[in-house]
Structure 1
Amino acid sequence: MPLWTWTAQGAGLTLPVFEPWNDPEAKPLIEFQNVTKRFGEFTAIDDLTIGIYEREFFALLGPSGCGKTTLMRMLAGFETATEGKIYLAGQDIAPVPPNKRAVNMMFQSYALFPHLSIWDNIAFGLKREGMPKDDIGERVENMLRLTRLEKFARRKPHQISGGQRQRVALARSLAKAPKLLLLDEPLGALDKKLRQDTQFELMDIQEKTGTTFVIVTHDQEEAMTVASRVAVMDNGKIMQVATPDRIYETPNSVYVADFIGDVNIIDGTVTPTGEDSYALNWKEGQEPLTVKTPNTFSDGQTAHLAIRPEKVTITADRPEGADNAVQGKILDIAYLGNISTYHVELPSGAVIKAQAANTRRISRRAFTWEDTVWLSWTATAGVLLAN
């Protein structure tokens, strides 16, 4: 199977799908092989093995202290692995000093030179490398066009906005045409609206240049927006690596399900009821839940049903024919503009969240606090997890 697969879209149209990780013959650009990094007695990275492919936009996602920045610093050459090997394009990069690696790093602070113009900031690394003057001029102009900064070329960093400074730092990092660009929380200093706009600019620039991007972030929405694949980390280990939709829809653990997006976790024990079908015995006094899953569980095994609030339907009357239906009272309502999230307390004391889209601009709220409502979902709406 080639790096680029093709799928039919619509009436006779085809669109490329970039999935080298599904090609057994594709070799990763970056390979971590059993890498461990210790600081004294503290293990920051624990026996980690992973591959990142050329042209990927790869996200390392996790809470503070999970090891994602240490992983990036080892790629950049600022830290050395205690055990294991790191390869870039097939070369063991351990003996290669940071300034000799085909890697550039873009920091959260941008680290621009305040006394230099935007043009000179972008040209700085090229001049240090001794690139011919004419070539520098051409490369800088290309970078200015790519990042839409042509009219700001003669300004100083303090004379442009935060979003524009972020693009200058990106242009400077890409000017040397690295094989790999590392982005350490690059949008953390921007406000929410500007951050969202800049995410799409980053994706567009990455696609145009074909450079492999690895981004470190604790912002799950950012990772899910920009990345071709996301690695969710915890305590120096990678918990799951998958495309954003797979991470969200089919998490492999309660930790990943809980870390990505909003979720209800219902604990219980399972009883097999047929092929790929189980009854989840959860709260005393509540009917068992019906769950369909390809994962195999034994009779009486503890399991956790992870179900997203948007998969839960809220109604005034008990829905007919629903696989699962529970009754409760509305405890809290969060109005978020496009959606409303309802926190519904069941007689057992359990609280389940349901979401409903606010499709009309002006309408009376269908449900309010203390209303008795029914929540329902299909047997396949959730993911049944062993841990």
Structure 2
Amino acid sequence: MAQNVFAPWDDPTETPLIQFKGVTKRFGDFVAIDNLTQDIYAREFFALLGPSGCGKTTMMRMLAGFEAPSEGQILIAGTDMAHVPPNLRAVNMMFQSYALFPHLSVWDNIAFGLKRERHTKDAVSARVEEMLKLTRLEKFAKRKPHQISGGQRQRVALARSLAKAPKLLLLDEPLGALDKKLRQDTQFELMDIQEKTGTTFVIVTHDQEEAMTVASRVAVMDEGRIMQVSTPAQIYEAPNSVYVADFIGDVNIIEGTASPSVNGYEVRWAEGHAPLVAKASQVLREGQRISLAIRPEKVSISAEKPENSVNAIEGKIIDIAYLGNLSTYHVEVAGGIMVKAQTANTRRLSRRELTWEDKVWLNWTDTAAVVLEQ
């Protein structure tokens, strides 16, 4: 049986859980969020991704109620949040520092918010046990935060945030304090917990790998604007600008001028060199300036000139980055342009054919490059 693909944003009958409508946020003369309109749906794991100062944390703080928009509206479940204080929103926020109470046990940290809402002792106990089980912390219930690891503290903070069953959980760089291996493991745990609880998660991160791993959709931000919102695969394979292509993963950018041809477009990129051939979904004018964005794994490298390749350019290996399973070759081509080609290391290092200073040929198909208008 075919599995239903989760894509409420493609369904016109779906009502968004969160709606930003023309939201602007100013701090004095500085515009942190610039006329932003965006919908986020129930059960989504939505990532706000961008460099420091792009406005992603401001967006999250406005959702939580810690900041008010200068202009525009924020709706949650159809209700305008303008005059709803943070404690009355069905929203919880998990901070990067985790903000656990050091003198309370894991059990009491998770129970804290529930006790303040005056639930019965039995109801609190049942909910805490449920959260301990969900986050696999049953064995650590009696310990204090300093007696457990960073990854376990992160799970305590998550359990405490989810205990009150919020409609929406906001996560501000939640894995920033963890080392790389633990961060990767925890990403999958987060996805698993999000799926089990059905809570809508909005995560703020500057780590593109993290956003691409956990999110159903990623919003790439720059200077208070959302540059592109789409699924991780779409953002990687079909970026809508050089900024997005460059921000997500490794990419080669080659600039040139386009001319329509029988097989798509010819792109003149270097004086005295054969034009490159690319397919484009958009219609380009004769002589229009464009950028070709080509992922390194889509570029083949060889010692001999490949036969029948539509795009073959010669260069010299300047650098090699060895990453265990992959090698990235930095190849200088005409005009001093550096192009990266990535290959899987299927053979032992001693049997490598290509090395520094070697003359090589790079080639890729006519559909490998994304054509971006300047």
TM score, norm. by length of structure 2: 0.99
Cα offset, 1:366, TM superposition: 2.1
Partner of 2:342: 355
Taking a change above 3 Å as real, the CA distance of residues 97 and 123 of structure 1, as seen in their structure-2 partners, is same
Tell me, yes or no, if the aligned pair for 2:266 and 2:278 is still in contact at 8 Å: yes
Corresponding residue number in structure 2 for 1:286: 273
Is 1:308 matched up with 2:313?
Answer: no
Pick one of 173, 182, 186 that aligns with 1:194: 182
Give % identity. Answer: 74
1:162 to 150, 165, 169: 150
Distance 2:331 2:347 in 1: 23
What residue is the counterpart of 1:80 in the other structure?
68
- Secondary structure of the residue aligned to 1:376 is strand
* 1:344 alignment counterpart: 331
Q: How far apart, CA to CA, are the structure 2 residues paired with 1:269 and 1:127?
A: 66
Residue number in structure 1 paired with 2:117: 129
Q: Following TM superposition, by how much is the alpha carbon of 1:371 offset from its aligned partner in structure 2, in angstroms?
A: 0.6
**1:337 Cα deviation from its structure 2 partner:** 0.7
Structure 1: distance between partners of 2:334 and 2:20: 50
Write the distance in 2 (CA, Å) between the matches of 1:363 and 1:164: 42
Is 1:51 the counterpart of 2:44? The answer is no
Give the structure 2 partner of residue 5 of structure 1: none
Deviations 1:193-233 (A, max 9, x none): 00000000000000000000000000000000000000000
Q: Matches of 2:277 and 2:46 in 1, distance apart? A: 36
- Contact in 2 for aligned 1:285/1:348 (Cα 8 Å): no
> 2:89 matched to which residue of 1?
101
CA distance in 1, matches of 2:164, 2:86: 14
Match of 1:35 in 2: 23
Offset, 1:380: 0.4
Q: How many residues align?
A: 374
1:377 equivalenced with 2:358 (yes/no): no
- RMSD (Å) for aligned C-alpha atoms: 0.9
- Aligned residue for 1:325? 312
Residue 173 (structure 2) pairs with residue 185 (structure 1): yes
Deviations 1:262-301 (A, max 9, x none): 00000011101137x1111111122110001111111111
Whether 2:131 is the aligned partner of 1:140: answer: no
How many angstroms does 1:36 deviate by? 0.2
CA distance in 1, matches of 2:338, 2:238: 22
For the pair 1:235 / 2:220, whether they are aligned, the reply is no
**Alpha-carbon separation, structure 2, partners of 1:111 and 1:146:** 20
Q: 1:353 aligns to what SS in structure 2?
A: strand
TM superposition shift of 1:351: 1.3
Residue 316 of structure 1: CA displacement?
A: 1.0
Question: Does residue 275 of structure 2 align to residue 295 of structure 1?
Answer: no
Give 3-state SS (helix, strand or coil) of 2:2's partner: strand
SS in 2 for 1:31: strand
CA distance in 1, matches of 2:27, 2:349: 57
Amino acid at match of 2:145: P
Q: What SS does the aligned partner of 1:214 have? A: strand
Cα distance in structure 1, aligned partners of 2:333 and 2:166: 56
> What letter is aligned with 2:306?
P
Q: Which residue of 2 aligns with 1:366?
A: 353
Measured in 1, the distance between the counterparts of 2:231 and 2:89 equals: 28
Deviations 1:134-168 (A, max 9, x none): 00000000000000000000000000000000000
| 1:60 CA displacement | 0.1
Q: Distance in 2 between matches of 1:250 and 1:58?
A: 19
Query: Distance in 2 between the 1:371 and 1:92 partners?
Result: 63
Deviation at 1:353, TM superposition (A): 0.6
Deviation larger for 363-372 or 335-344: 363-372
Q: Distance in 1 between matches of 2:247 and 2:52?
A: 13
Supply the AA of the counterpart residue of 1:111.
A
CA distance in 1, matches of 2:290, 2:129: 58
- Displacement of 1:243 in angstroms is 0.1
Partner of 1:271: 259
Q: What is the match of residue 205 of structure 2?
A: 217
* C-alpha deviation, 1:347, in angstroms: 3.8
Q: Matched residue of 2:5: which SS? A: strand
> 1:10 maps to what in 2?
none
* 1:365 Cα offset (Å): 1.7
Structure 1 counterpart of 2:31, which letter?
T
Aligned partner letter, 2:139: K
Gaps of 5+ in 1: 1-12
TM-score (norm 1): 0.95
SS at match of 1:69: helix
Provide, for residues 34-53 of structure 1, a one-character-per-residue CA deviation record: whole Å limited to 9, x for no partner: 00000000000000000000
Q: Is the 8 A contact 2:270 2:334 kept in 1?
A: no
Structure 2 residue corresponding to 1:92, chosen from 80, 85, 90: 80
Question: Does residue 250 in structure 1 map to residue 238 in structure 2?
Answer: yes
